[in-house]
Amino acid sequence: MTDTRFNWMPKLLSRLRKSRVEVTEVPSWHDPVRTLWVQARDWGRLATYLQEFGCRLAGLWGEDRLERLRVYACLEKQGDYLLLKVEVPAAEPQLASWTAVYPGVNRLERHTRDLLGVTFLDSPDNRRWPRHQAWPEDVYPLRKSEPLSGHSPDADTPADSDYPFQSVAGEAVYEIPVGPVHAGIIEPGHFRFHAIGETVLNLEARLGYTHKGIEKIAEGRTAEALLKLAGRVSGDSTVAHSWAAAQALERAAGIEPPARALYLRALLLERERIGNHLGDIGAICNDVGFAFAQMQFSRLRERWLRDNERLFGHRLLMDQLLPGGVRHPLDNDAASSIREACDRLREELDSLLPLLRDNQSLRDRLLGTGILSTEQARRLGCLGYVARASGCGYDVRCDSPWPPYENLSIRRPLQQSGDVAARVIQRAEEVYASLDAVRQILDKLPPGPLRAHWPEAATGAGMGMVEGWRGEVLAYVRLNGEGRVERFFPRDPSWFNWPALAVLIHDNIVPDFPVCNKSVNGSYSGQDL
Amino acid sequence: MFRILRKIQSVGIITENIERDSDYEALGSTLKRQLERQFQGSLAIRELDSGSCNACELEIQALNNPYYDVERFGVHFVASPRHADVLLVTGPMSRHMEEAARRTYAAMAAPKWVIAVGDCAVDGGIFGCSYASRGGVSKVLPVDLTIPGCPPSPRHLVKGLLALLDSAAAR
């Protein structure tokens, strides 16, 4: 793996030089990431070159560096990550938009504009995104000069009633507004449907309702306090987000956690994946009225969560990671109880999944519903099971394996049809693959300490990438000279999977929206931040 | 179809199995008795996420799984605040949700109760008060009861409901 890393880089650099794009490579923190400084004037055409070169856009965020605003774009090719840095003067912070080339970046650009004040020129969609009515248009909360409390901490915030939604006109076209408060026990967001009869012509999502200032309140935290926060970016992905943040911190500080800690982190990550997929398989079936599956799979999930509590002290595995290691040991008895539980779960799935597969009414509702084509998934940069159910196979564990995944063999199931049924099958297959992974982790679990010493005055910047249950989770962390967080940006996979929902619902019937939505299951909190 | 029925039969009623070795059954019967006395046997809850990280939602959803199955005690989750006795609020009160929260509460018929679920709903928790968050739910809605935890387990949630009934009886 290592010898082929970045073997595409010389070709890219010569391509850029030929086009007179000025780049400066800076020494990087670690293996899977290389960093290039670029000039703001080249920003727009860079996107085209990178896209033609086959780079996937993995993230975009910014940072206030006082007189200048810095913007970062992260790209991936063959499991290698390229980090581009560009700076613009704070007095005139303008960059060309990448949205026309990388449509999935649009909301990230709007997020960077609303929170930091960088204007992305010539974007096909420049509407506000995270900003509703909590702060005015000319205030950018992530600027260092802005107080954490905002400007009117005790004032009531009015409803966001004048957002310029897309409009669809024509005879018999009608509009259905849904949310932010939904009928079920789920997160808040607004969906605007345009329909003719039962058929959806257009769906537009308006998110940002759970925006709670995560990036701002991360500032000034210690490493340990940052992991606690990262574990609450999206509660269902607490291990994935805290591992990505831990990786970023540890790469910044040059700390390698002990081998046992890394294996235990992988165990936690796979447990999180299995628990979430179990819950969702049942919930997807429930959204088309097949309560049997909901009862059975929520039963399996509950058992799984009880094991989490017994083994690690928390049903959802929060706060298990520490900078440089993990919190909870795992003794031999606990390891063998996990093996037994995995065998039991496998037997249960073997008996349950055929019942789902052969059920005519379930097949009728799920097959051919909510199709996302391979081309659409690739164009939007979709991640995780959403992408893999549509034939796009990227998986950080396989394509850019970090320790201990470089010593594990992770199966990568893949579907081609891209419908709800494919996403259900994909999740079931991923549970089996994770059960295999758990067995390997336990077989290879090395002895040793749970934690490396964490230097309180660690400094520097780093990135983490982890394959969470939803897909690739990215984290960027920069520490100041006193070991405190200067900048934290967690990029949940939902940034790239939410836009897929609007695409795959097209031409489906309105009553199939819940099942389509659940099959994608984007995190609201994870992208609202 | 027969295979589905066979599976249902072979799993049996786990709801009861699990309760024998826990205090959950006792908790549930007390809850049921209280509900019969004060709410004609039926308590309708509307859940409202005012900015949570979604962990509280996962545990509230678990109340409906076959292990806890709160519906058998008379507790059920409803889709509209119009049908609700209790508003179960999770998360810090994000500024972007506060007007929606107010309107949801206003849509409920009196008598009505608000429970703040989870550390964030209690006082803002880890997210605190900021340009984006008001802090605890009580900044915006009249909170009758808090159930702390990050997130509170399903068992804690049931205990919390019981505490609400106790205080409602006292009032």
Report residue B164's pLDDT band, with 50, 70 and 90 as the boundaries: confident
How many contiguous H segments (helices) and E segments (strands) does chain B have?
7, 5
Mean pLDDT value across chain B: 90
* B chain contacts of residue A157, beta-carbon cutoff 8 Å: 95-96, 98-99
The C-alpha atoms of residue A489 and residue A212 are separated, in whole angstroms, by 14
* A chain contacts of residue B5, beta-carbon cutoff 8 Å: none
First to last CA, chain A: 34
* B chain contacts of residue A159, beta-carbon cutoff 8 Å: 99-100, 103
pLDDT (0 to 100) of residue B19: 45
Q: Residue B153 has which token pair?
A: 């387990």
Mutate to test the interface with A, among B56, B60, B90, B130 (most CBs of A within 10 A): B130
B15 has pLDDT over 80: no
pLDDT (0 to 100) of residue A183: 87
Q: Are A263 and A445 in contact (CB under 8 A)?
A: yes
Nearest CA among A350, A407, A381, A414 for reference residue A491: A381
Is A75 a member of any domain? Answer: yes
Q: Flag if B131 and A214 touch (Cβ within 8 Å).
A: no
pLDDT (0 to 100) of residue A118: 97
How close does chain B come to A226, measured CA to CA in Å?
11
Kindly provide the residue ranges of all beta strands, DSSP E only, lying in A305-454, ordered along the sequence: 321-322, 325-326
Q: Flag if B130 and A148 touch (Cβ within 8 Å).
A: yes
Kindly provide the residue ranges of all beta strands, DSSP E only, lying in A415-500, ordered along the sequence: 460-468, 471-479, 485-491
The C-alpha atoms of residue A92 and residue A78 are separated, in whole angstroms, by 36
Q: Are A43 and A84 in contact (CB under 8 A)?
A: no
Is A275 found in the same domain as A182? no
Residue A112, sorted as left (phi over 0), alpha (psi -120 to 50) or beta, turns out to be alpha
Is A29 found in the same domain as A117? yes
Q: How far is CA B28 from CA A316, B68, B69, B86, in A?
A: 24, 9, 10, 18
Is A397 found in the same domain as A354? yes
Nearest CA among A191, A280, A194 for reference residue A237: A280
Q: Residue A305 has which token pair?
A: 């969560």
Is A463 a member of any domain? Answer: yes
Is A366 found in the same domain as A235? yes
pLDDT (0 to 100) of residue A104: 96
* A chain contacts of residue B48, beta-carbon cutoff 8 Å: 181, 188
The C-alpha atoms of residue A161 and residue B93 are separated, in whole angstroms, by 19
Q: Are A195 and A510 in contact (CB under 8 A)?
A: yes
Is A180 found in the same domain as A239? no
- For residues B102-141, b (16+ Cβ closer than 10 Å) or e, as one string? eebbebbeeebbbbbbbbbbbbbbbbbbbbbbbbbbbbbb
The C-alpha atoms of residue A5 and residue A528 are separated, in whole angstroms, by 34
Q: Flag if A233 and B53 touch (Cβ within 8 Å).
A: yes
pLDDT (0 to 100) of residue B10: 84
Residue of A nearest to B4 (CA): A355
A166 has pLDDT over 80: yes
Given 3-state DSSP classes, what are the helix, strand and coil percentages for chain A, each rounded to the nearest 5? 45, 20, 40
Report residue B171's pLDDT band, with 50, 70 and 90 as the boundaries: low
* A chain contacts of residue B155, beta-carbon cutoff 8 Å: none
pLDDT (0 to 100) of residue A197: 93
Q: Is B136 helix (H, G, I), strand (E, B) or coil?
A: coil
How close does chain A come to B97, measured CA to CA in Å?
6
Q: Are A470 and A521 in contact (CB under 8 A)?
A: yes
How close does chain B come to A290, measured CA to CA in Å?
11
Which among B65, B96, B100 has the least Cβ separation from residue A181? B100
Q: How far is CA A404 from CA A76, A92, A328, A446, B7, in A?
A: 21, 45, 18, 11, 38
Q: Flag if B127 and A217 touch (Cβ within 8 Å).
A: yes
Residue of B nearest to A525 (CA): B53
Is A470 found in the same domain as A390? yes
Last residue in a domain, options A153, A187, A206:
A206
Beta bridge partners of A322: A325
* A chain contacts of residue B57, beta-carbon cutoff 8 Å: 185-187, 235
| A266-275 pLDDT, tens digit each | 999 999 999 9
Which among A216, A236, A351 has the least Cβ separation from residue B7? A351
Please count the residue pairs, one from chain A and one from chain B, whose beta carbons lie less than 8 angstroms apart: 169
| B104-161 pLDDT, tens digit each | 999 999 999 999 999 999 999 999 999 999 999 999 999 999 999 999 999 999 999 8
* DSSP annotation string for B69-127: -GGGGTEEE-S-GGG-SEEEEES--BTTTHHHHHHHHHHSPSS-EEEEESHHHHH-GGG
Q: Is A40 helix (H, G, I), strand (E, B) or coil?
A: helix
* B chain contacts of residue A241, beta-carbon cutoff 8 Å: none
Is A108 found in the same domain as A10? yes
How close does chain B come to A449, measured CA to CA in Å?
28
Is A158 a member of any domain? Answer: no
Structure-token match 């659409």, residue found:
A376
A279-300 average pLDDT score = 95
CATH of B2-170, one of 3.90.950.10, 3.40.50.1220, 3.40.50.12280, 3.40.50.300: 3.40.50.12280
The domain in which residue A33 lies consists of 2-121
* B chain contacts of residue A345, beta-carbon cutoff 8 Å: none
Kindly provide the residue ranges of all beta strands, DSSP E only, lying in A186-255, ordered along the sequence: 190-196, 199-206
| Sequence-ordered list of residues with C-beta below 8 angstroms from that of A45, at least 6 positions apart, any chain | A19, A21, A96
Q: Residue A171 has which token pair?
A: 């005879």
Vertex A375 angle, CA A374 and A378, to 5°? 85
Is A441 a member of any domain? Answer: yes
- Sheet architecture: strand order including A173-178: A173-178, A190-196, A199-206
Q: Flag if A216 and B130 touch (Cβ within 8 Å).
A: yes
A31 has pLDDT over 80: no
* B chain contacts of residue A315, beta-carbon cutoff 8 Å: 59, 153
Q: Higher pLDDT residue, A274 or A32?
A: A274
A511-516 average pLDDT score = 95
Q: Flag if B131 and A148 touch (Cβ within 8 Å).
A: yes
Is A147 a member of any domain? Answer: no
Structure-token match 């009160």, residue found:
B93
CB of B56 within 8 Å of any CB in chain A? yes
Q: How far is CA A499 from CA A104, A148, A241, A377, B97, in A?
A: 7, 30, 21, 10, 22
Mean pLDDT value across chain A: 95
A445 has pLDDT over 90: yes
Which among B53, B54, B131 has the least Cβ separation from residue A135? B131
Is A258 found in the same domain as A177? no
A106 has pLDDT over 80: yes
Continuous segment of H or E residues that includes residue A68: strand A68-77
How close does chain A come to B81, measured CA to CA in Å?
9
* B chain contacts of residue A210, beta-carbon cutoff 8 Å: 49, 51-52, 91, 94, 96-97
pLDDT (0 to 100) of residue B40: 85
Is A305 found in the same domain as A409? yes
First to last CA, chain B: 51
pLDDT (0 to 100) of residue A488: 98
CB of B106 within 8 Å of any CB in chain A? no
pLDDT (0 to 100) of residue A29: 59
Please report, for the domain that includes residue A24, its CATH number.
3.30.460.80
The C-alpha atoms of residue A458 and residue A455 are separated, in whole angstroms, by 5
How close does chain B come to A231, measured CA to CA in Å?
9
* B chain contacts of residue A156, beta-carbon cutoff 8 Å: 98-99, 140
Residue of B nearest to A158 (CA): B99
Domain count, chain A: 3
pLDDT (0 to 100) of residue B170: 61
- Measured from the Cβ of residue A171, the count of other Cβ atoms closer than 10 Å reads 5
Vertex A304 angle, CA A242 and B90, to 5°? 60
pLDDT (0 to 100) of residue B23: 77
Report residue B20's pLDDT band, with 50, 70 and 90 as the boundaries: very low
CB of B110 within 8 Å of any CB in chain A? no
| A326-373 pLDDT, tens digit each | 999 999 999 999 999 999 999 999 999 999 999 999 999 999 999 999
CB of B8 within 8 Å of any CB in chain A? yes
Give domain limits for chain B.
2-170
Q: Is the peptide bond before B151 cis (omega within 30 degrees of 0)?
A: yes
Is A133 a member of any domain? Answer: no
* B chain contacts of residue A148, beta-carbon cutoff 8 Å: 130-131
Q: Flag if A185 and B61 touch (Cβ within 8 Å).
A: yes
Is A156 a member of any domain? Answer: no
Beta bridge partners of A325: A322, A451
The C-alpha atoms of residue A326 and residue A146 are separated, in whole angstroms, by 35
Residue of B nearest to A354 (CA): B3
Is A219 a member of any domain? Answer: yes
- Residues of chain B numbered 125-164 and touching chain A (CB < 8 Å): 126-133, 140, 150-151, 153
Q: How far is CA A61 from CA A83, A117, A237, A331, in A?
A: 11, 11, 21, 41
How close does chain B come to A278, measured CA to CA in Å?
12
| Sequence-ordered list of residues with C-beta below 8 angstroms from that of A341, at least 6 positions apart, any chain | A303, A304, A307
Q: Residue A422 has which token pair?
A: 């494919």
A363-390 average pLDDT score = 97
Continuous segment of H or E residues that includes residue B27: helix B24-39
Q: Are A64 and A117 in contact (CB under 8 A)?
A: no
The C-alpha atoms of residue A428 and residue A366 are separated, in whole angstroms, by 15
